[in-house]
Amino acid sequence: MAKRRVIGPTAWVLGGAGLFIGAVAAWLVSQGNPGNMGLCIACFLRDITGFFVGGVTNQGAVAYIRPEIIGIILGAMGAALLTREFRPRGGSQPLVRFVLGFIFMAGALIFLGCTVRAWLRLGGGDLTALWGVLGIVAGVLVGIVFLKKGFNLGRAKAVAKPLGWILPTFAVVLLVLVVVSTLGATPEFATQTKAGAFATGDKPPAVFLKHDGEPDQVLKPEGATLAEDGSIVAEDGTVVASAESVAKAAPQPGGKRALLWVSLAAGLAIGVVAQRSRFCSIGGIRDAILVRRYDLLFGVVGLLIGSTVVNLLFGQYNLGFTNQPIAHNDALGSFAAMTIATFAAMMLGGCPFRQVIMGAEGDADSTTAVAGMLVGAGFMHWASLASSGKGLAPNAWPAMAVMAVVLVAIALYGSRKSA
């Protein structure tokens, strides 16, 4: 009997795709994106949510339409159209997929990154990401248990063509809005973090801009100014931020970004590569354990190698557990959050990156999952459940317990339905 191949010719394609995506993601950090966050589907979708509802959900620090997401969608759509792989389809448990997308985002914002960023954080030397990576493996293992029990949300079917164009149309609308906002005409309903904005740790924080390393204009509170001693003083003379807190002010994540055209071009390239290669940040581990196939795993290895090499070349590599950008040291919380997020992604059939790509190919079910992620992002910030660099939010553990129960219920439902 012929020996079954465990590594096929697509392994090298996927390895090259991962190498390219990891390298571009790390390069985007050198161009202005947040540290170890040249690419993060969860974080970037969260920032987009902040643009629309940031005033209600307390997302003033993370409100910006990330052009990378626009580029990924349009790039993947273009590649799918050229290869005749754009097929409007859907109808497979849309409500369940929305909930799974919501839960994925919730877990990712507790960990502080999606399954792609977990590997990119590790590629930047952030060893706190190890707990998230272990959570990814655990989430895959839990998902495999239910896959073996027959879990299945059903097959997608052909749907009306307009349903397949929802996500690409959304990307075009975002493109118009980000161009208009970049030109200085931000719509009145929108919230947008100012480029280069820093915020103090005061409650509420005083926010100002830094140019050439020196504090410049004060954005909030309105009318406040920088005093000669370096403090921020309100109109009535009250000190709202001491000179010490101004000196220790941290950049707002939404204010760290590459130039619009750079981000958009990078996203377009990543979208094309991801669509053609079928890259998935969790599929490699799933296939390696479930069917002993390692093609997709080459993609993750390439992602890690590409980001590590470029981070080293640009002096962005910082090996250790401390002083890591947009990360916390709660090991158990990171592990649990990423286990939950990955379990949700397993039931969706792919990581959030893959969901965005499939939505760009006309998959309305994946678009529904992306919609769940967007709503989940707004909810997590509105409910003050998203983590910060200081650690987990006070009610993060009860929230994760509820999410775990819901996921198990969905898994049992999907398993019995297919039985």
Q: Output the pLDDT for position 6.
A: 63
Residues 6+ apart with CB under 8 A from 149: 415
Confidence band (pLDDT; 50, 70, 90) for 416? confident
Q: Output the pLDDT for position 211.
A: 79
* Nearest CA among 1, 17, 5 for reference residue 298: 17
In a domain, 4, yes or no: no
**Six-digit token pair at 238?**
């009250």
In a domain, 3, yes or no: no
In a domain, 2, yes or no: no
Backbone angles phi, psi at 256, to 5 degrees: -100, 110
Q: What is the pLDDT of residues 266-321, one digit of tens each?
A: 999 999 999 999 999 998 899 999 888 888 899 999 999 999 999 999 999 999 99
Q: At what angle do helices 166-182 and 67-82 cross, to 10 degrees?
A: 140
Q: Are residues 94 and 240 in the same domain?
A: no
Confidence band (pLDDT; 50, 70, 90) for 202? confident
Q: Are residues 240 and 380 in the same domain?
A: no
Percent of the chain with pLDDT over 90: 84
Q: How far is CA 36 from the centre of its chain?
A: 12
| Exposure class string for 256-266: b at 16+ Cβ within 10 A, else e | bbbebebbbbb
Higher pLDDT, 6 or 233: 233
Single residue among 234, 251, 268 that ends a domain in this structure:
251
Q: Are residues 363 and 315 in the same domain?
A: yes
Q: Output the pLDDT for position 291.
A: 85
Using alpha carbons only, what angle is made at residue 180 by residues 357 and 23, rounded to the nearest 5 degrees?
A: 40
Higher pLDDT, 4 or 257: 257
Q: What is the pLDDT of residues 254-268, one digit of tens each?
A: 999 999 999 999 999
**Six-digit token pair at 375?**
């709503």
pLDDT above 70 (res 325): yes
**Six-digit token pair at 316?**
């962005």
CA distances from 13 to 10, 23, 80, 159, 300 (A): 5, 15, 17, 31, 12
**Is the torsion defined by CA of 237, 238, 240, 241 positive or negative?**
positive
Q: Are residues 257 and 229 in the same domain?
A: no
Q: Looking at the whole model, is its pTM more than 0.85?
A: yes
CA distances from 42 to 3, 116, 150, 225 (A): 40, 9, 28, 35
Confidence band (pLDDT; 50, 70, 90) for 2? very low
Q: Output the pLDDT for position 399.
A: 98
Q: Output the pLDDT for position 330.
A: 97
| Lowest-pLDDT range of 70-79, 194-203, 385-394 | 194-203
In a domain, 206, yes or no: yes
Would you call 89 helix, strand, or coil by DSSP? strand
Q: What is the pLDDT of residues 117-170, one digit of tens each?
A: 999 999 999 999 999 999 999 999 999 999 999 999 988 899 999 999 999 999
Higher pLDDT, 414 or 356: 356
In a domain, 5, yes or no: no
State the residue for tokens 């949700």.
344
Q: Are residues 307 and 362 in the same domain?
A: yes
Confidence band (pLDDT; 50, 70, 90) for 5? low
pLDDT above 80 (res 3): no
* DSSP H helix total and E strand total for the chain: 16, 9
In a domain, 93, yes or no: yes
Q: Are residues 68 and 206 in the same domain?
A: no
In a domain, 186, yes or no: yes
Higher pLDDT, 102 or 184: 102
Q: Are residues 40 and 63 in the same domain?
A: yes
Rounded Cα distance, 385 and 80, in Å: 37
Q: Are residues 215 and 170 in the same domain?
A: no
Q: Are residues 265 and 211 in the same domain?
A: no
Helix (H), strand (E) at residue 366: helix 364-382
End-to-end CA distance of the chain, in Å? 32
The answer to whether the beta carbons of residues 277 and 14 sit under 8 Å apart is yes
Residues shown for the chain: 419
Q: Hey, which residues does 262 pair with through a beta bridge? A: none
Confidence band (pLDDT; 50, 70, 90) for 415? confident
| Lowest-pLDDT range of 283-287, 345-349, 379-383 | 283-287
State the residue for tokens 């997401």.
69
SS (H, E, C) 309-326: HHHHHCCCCCCECCCCCC
pLDDT above 60 (res 1): no
The answer to whether the beta carbons of residues 106 and 396 sit under 8 Å apart is no
The answer to whether the beta carbons of residues 266 and 44 sit under 8 Å apart is no
Q: Are residues 240 and 276 in the same domain?
A: no
**Six-digit token pair at 247?**
């000196």
In a domain, 406, yes or no: yes
Q: Are residues 205 and 122 in the same domain?
A: no
In terms of DSSP H, where are the helices of 31-165? Answer: 41-57, 67-82, 94-111, 115-123, 129-148, 161-164
* Nearest CA among 135, 96, 95, 97 for reference residue 113: 135
- What is the total count of domains within the chain? 2
Q: Are residues 236 and 114 in the same domain?
A: no
Domain with 238, as residue range(s), is: 197-251
Asked if the peptide bond before residue 204 counts as cis, ω within 30 degrees of 0, the response is yes
Helix (H), strand (E) at residue 215: strand 214-220
Rounded Cα distance, 156 and 179, in Å: 35
Q: Output the pLDDT for position 312.
A: 98
